[in-house]
Amino acid sequence: DENILKLQLKPLGTGIYPARLTLTSPYDVRVVDVEVTAQSMGQTAVLEMECPARQQVLQEVALVNTTDAPFSATATLTGKGYSGPRDVSVPAKGNGAYPWTFCPPGSGTYTGTLELNIAATGERNVYNLVGKGGEPLAEGHLVIDCQARSAVTKRLQVPNITGALPLVYNVYADLEILSGPATHSCTSTNRGDTYKLSITPLRSGNSWGSVSFVTEDGQYCWYSVEVKASEPPDMGTIQVSCPVRQAVSIKVTLTNPTDKPLLLRSQYSTPSLVGPPTLVAPSKEPCLFECFYAPLLLRKEEGVLRLISDEAGEFWWKIQMDATPG
């Protein structure tokens, strides 16, 4: 058709493109104002995020405004664990971003959808969200300084991780020296209740473990625990003397508090003390252990005799030794 003029459009991006078309001939001049609105058909993408359970991570979706006027992007966000504002504004000829957060309530995979609609350009972008909740971080690290064979009590603040009432946790500890009630109940949705944890190390040294609070459906929170146990009180002081290159007997008595025979390992702090490497103590009965002081040098010294059991703990005696001329 001779009266139709075809225009070729090559927009650089979404937005409004005003233009003026001037037609001239020897007999006439005509001016036509043209306004072209370029809009995207929209896009679909998958966004993936990962963070520990009940922690929060932020991600932004970039927005570009190529028009001469600011516009607003309206968001529709669905899915458990996802949140973000209802809308966000982007200035003219500027950049912006839509911020959304992922906070998984527990371990597992959580799916959702984010839809961004820009009314000014007719653009609609849809994002499929895939969030992975990892194992939860510890609620805290508990460091306990105590003495072996002495009980210590600590109180732990246990949060309500589901927000439901009633909520009952099963309690698990991976150290034998940690003990407390087998279950724990939450009485509030917005604050934690305290749990009474008892620590009774049997021997000196450092131990590391954890206490976990587990719901019926497997969700849990936990504390890491570090126990620094100093030596238990000594069982007494024994004074002994002996001529050089001879031996004298040292006898100590202890009672096995358990319901079965108890194996104890002996430790001697100095070569002047010698004796059997182990002792088997009968149940609920006093037991006599005998070792020997056998000095090779003429001197006075102090030493320690230890009897150690995995079940009953550590027992030790101070030994004050005096080697006399033979």
36-50, 174-188, 289-303: least confident range: 36-50
DSSP 284: T
The 10s digit of each residue's pLDDT in 217-239 is 889 999 999 999 998 999 999 99
Q: Give the pLDDT score at 183.
A: 95
Instruction: Quickly state the pLDDT bin for 311 (edges 50, 70, 90).
Output: confident
Average pLDDT of the residues in 200-228: 93
Instruction: Give the residue with greater pLDDT, 165 vs 190.
Output: 165
Residue 41: its pLDDT value, please? 60
Mean of the pLDDT values across residues 21-37? 86
pLDDT, average across residues 163-174:
92
Confidence tier at 5 by pLDDT (50, 70, 90): confident
How deeply is 100 buried, as exposed, middle or buried, from its count of CB atoms within 10 A (0-12, 13-18, 19+)? Answer: buried
* pLDDT digits 0-9 by tens, 40-52: 666 788 999 999 9
Query: Shortest CA distance to 65 belongs to which of 46, 36, 38?
Result: 38
Is 14's pLDDT higher than 80?
A: no
Report pLDDT for 128: 95
Is the overall model pTM greater than 0.85, yes or no? no
Helix H or strand E segment including 52: strand 44-52
Mean model confidence pLDDT for the chain: 91
Residue 10 confidence (pLDDT): 81
As a 3-state breakdown, the chain gives helix, strand, coil percent values, each rounded to 5, of: 0, 60, 40
Percent of the chain with pLDDT over 70: 97
Q: Concatenate the DSSP letters of all residues of 100-130 into one string.
A: EEE--SSSEEEEEEEEEEETTTTEEEEEEEE
CA distances from 5 to 1, 2, 21, 23 (A): 9, 8, 11, 10
pLDDT, average across residues 11-37: 83
Q: What is the average pLDDT across 148-153? A: 90
The pLDDT of residue 43 is 75
**Could you give the strand order of the β-sheet that contains 95-102, starting from the edge strand earlier in sequence?**
57-64, 95-102, 82-83
199, 154 contact by CB (below 8 A): yes
How much of the chain exceeds pLDDT 90, in percent?
66
Of 106, 110, 111, 102, nearest in space to 56 by CA: 102
- Which residue has 């805290």 as its token pair? 140
Cα separation, 220 vs 199, whole angstroms: 22
Mean pLDDT check: name the lowest of 28-37, 104-113, 164-173, 296-305. 28-37
pLDDT greater than 90 at residue 312: no
Least-confidence region, from 20-24, 35-39, 258-262: 35-39
Rounded mean pLDDT of 127-155?
A: 94
Encode pLDDT of 243-256 as tens digits. 999 999 999 998 88
State residue 297's pLDDT score: 93
